[in-house]
Structure 1
Amino acid sequence: MRALRRGLFVLLVLAVLFAGADRLAVKLAEDEAAERIRSAEGVSSSTEASVDIKGFPFLTQIAGRELEQIDAELNGIKAGPGEDDLTVSRVDAQLKKVRIGSDYSSAVAEEATGSAFVSYKELTKAAHEGVRVGWGGKDENGKGRVKVSAGITLLGQTFERSVTSTVSVTKGDIVELQADEVPGDGIPGLEGAVRERIDFARKIAGLPPGLELERVEAKKDGIELSVRGSDIELSE
């Protein structure tokens, strides 16, 4: 009986040591992955990143070259080139069944889902000069809308207009804002002039191949974008 107890005690100690080594290994891997995200080309130095590798044991997953799931969170990313950059306030991504290459320098996620958040402040920065973007409440179906305001000068007169706009995604990587209705007050050319300033589309650049914008929802403090994709290539 004493030998059995001693054997069980040894197994318990080994299990604890293995679990400790496994958790240390996964923590080092998470920190390294987050650092590589922060130092990647095109990522702002102010970007914050965190990585959470799911599944246990981690070392067994590495040996089998497939990770069950990786969750990543990034804050303050630049998305879009040039003057019309959109700063994405937050990105949450879930990468599932991540297959690691034979040389451990690349990987492919079988499935990816996630969300990205853009504040109205950043949408205003990306809009035409003098255009302000904010929360527009909900329509009769409970769907969120945005409010776009701008001043238009036409025929020597300045007209201030605030309209509700529908926000949508097209072509997998473009966010569009389009006014539902623009009151023209019977003034020729006013509606067209207003729409020319307040309707706009901006591309979300930098999405990995295979990952696309799926839908967008207007909320009180900004817009939330849903992303989805498959066979997402991950490499240095």
Structure 2
Amino acid sequence: MIITVVLGGIFVAVDRIAVNMAESQAADKIKSSQGLTSTPEISIKGFPFLTQVMGKELDEVDVSLAGITATAGGHSVNVTEVEAELRSVKIDSSYSSAVADRADGSARISYADLTKAAPKGATVGYAGPERAAKGQVKVTGSLLDLLEGAGIRIPGTFEGLLQGRTVSAYSTVSLKGGSTVQLKAESLPKLPLPGFEAKLRKVIDYDLKIEGMPSTIKLDKVQATDAGLRFSGRGTNVSLAG
């Protein structure tokens, strides 16, 4: 009995050492293959690990990514809390790469980072629980700053009409193409200058392109929360490394 316990303890120790080494190597490969600026965190689930490796299939691998960005109008911001849960990860015969049958991915962009990517002069914030339930955020800003930040020239004779005016709009958030977030204002205030409503909409409505997520994971859901926008999606035949 004592020998069995000792051998069992040795096996567990060896198994944990092996899984730690595999996690480190997989993290380095994912960093290289995805072009990330920092090394992701890898957690290989299931026990024993060595038995899974011998069968060339891992039950679950969790990945926490960093270095993912969103871009809009030349601005680049960080995407936080990027995670992927990979299931049924099949290892190739050379043990140099692996492919997951299925992957569930999620990410979050804070309102502070959304504001950094917004048009100059605009602030993006939480719109409250009722609006958030409709997938909406609140966009506010000085009218003059928004128009001038977009390169729209205001004739000097009309600046007085716009001075001190602010814009407050509720924008609906949607997804396009599995990686692009679109913000579109529900309605805009009437302006005292003919034709400027259309110009203002071109400023307020904008797209965010999320870059760096595995190409086989397509985002298909976005939620407005009090902490920012949360995205989720699913992919199949997702490459883990190689």
Partner deviation per Cα, 1:14-65 (whole Å, 9 max, x = no partner): 1111111101111222233334445666322xx4632110011101111111
Identity among equivalent pairs (%): 41
**After superposition, where does 1:85-164 map in structure 2 within 5 Å?**
85-139=76-130, 142-153=133-144, 155-156=158-159, 157-158=161-162, 159-164=165-170
Return the offset for 1:11. Answer: 2.2
After TM superposition, the structure 1 stretch with the greater mean CA deviation from structure 2, 166-175 or 131-140, is 131-140
Aligned to 1:196: 202
CA distance, structure 2, for counterparts of residue 234 and residue 207 of structure 1: 12
- Structure 2 gaps of 5+ residues are 145-153
Partner deviation per Cα, 1:110-137 (whole Å, 9 max, x = no partner): 0000210111111111122112111111
Aligned to 1:212: 218
SS in 2 for 1:188: coil
Q: How many aligned residue pairs are there?
A: 227
CA distance, structure 2, for counterparts of residue 82 and residue 166 of structure 1: 19
Mapped contact 2:23–2:42 kept (Cα < 8 A): yes
What's the TM-score once normalised by structure 2's chain length? 0.84
2:225 equivalent to 1:232 = no
SS in 1 for 2:194: coil
Aligned to 1:34: 27
The one-letter amino acid of 1:196's match is K
**After superposition, where does 1:1-12 map in structure 2 within 5 Å?**
8-12=1-5
What's the TM-score once normalised by structure 1's chain length? 0.86
Return the offset for 1:181. Answer: 1.2
Partner deviation per Cα, 1:89-144 (whole Å, 9 max, x = no partner): 12111000001111112111100002101111111111221121111113378335
CA distance, structure 2, for counterparts of residue 79 and residue 43 of structure 1: 13
The one-letter amino acid of 1:59's match is L
Aligned-residue Cα RMSD (Å) equals: 2.3
Larger relative contact order, structure 1 or 2 (CA cutoff 8 Å, min sep 6): 2
CA distance, structure 2, for counterparts of residue 81 and residue 167 of structure 1: 14
CA distance, structure 1, for counterparts of residue 34 and residue 86 of structure 2: 21
Partner deviation per Cα, 1:174-224 (whole Å, 9 max, x = no partner): 101111111215642232122111110121123323210111001112110
Higher strand share: 1
CA distance, structure 2, for counterparts of residue 117 and residue 205 of structure 1: 13
Q: Cα gap change, 1:25/1:166 in structure 2, threshold over 3 Å: closer, same or farther?
A: same
- Structure 1 gaps of 5+ residues are 1-7
CA distance, structure 2, for counterparts of residue 79 and residue 127 of structure 1: 11
Return the offset for 1:79. Answer: 4.2
2:14 equivalent to 1:21 = yes
After TM superposition, the structure 1 stretch with the greater mean CA deviation from structure 2, 24-33 or 167-176, is 24-33
2:188 equivalent to 1:182 = yes
Aligned to 2:149: none
CA distance, structure 1, for counterparts of residue 209 and residue 222 of structure 2: 14
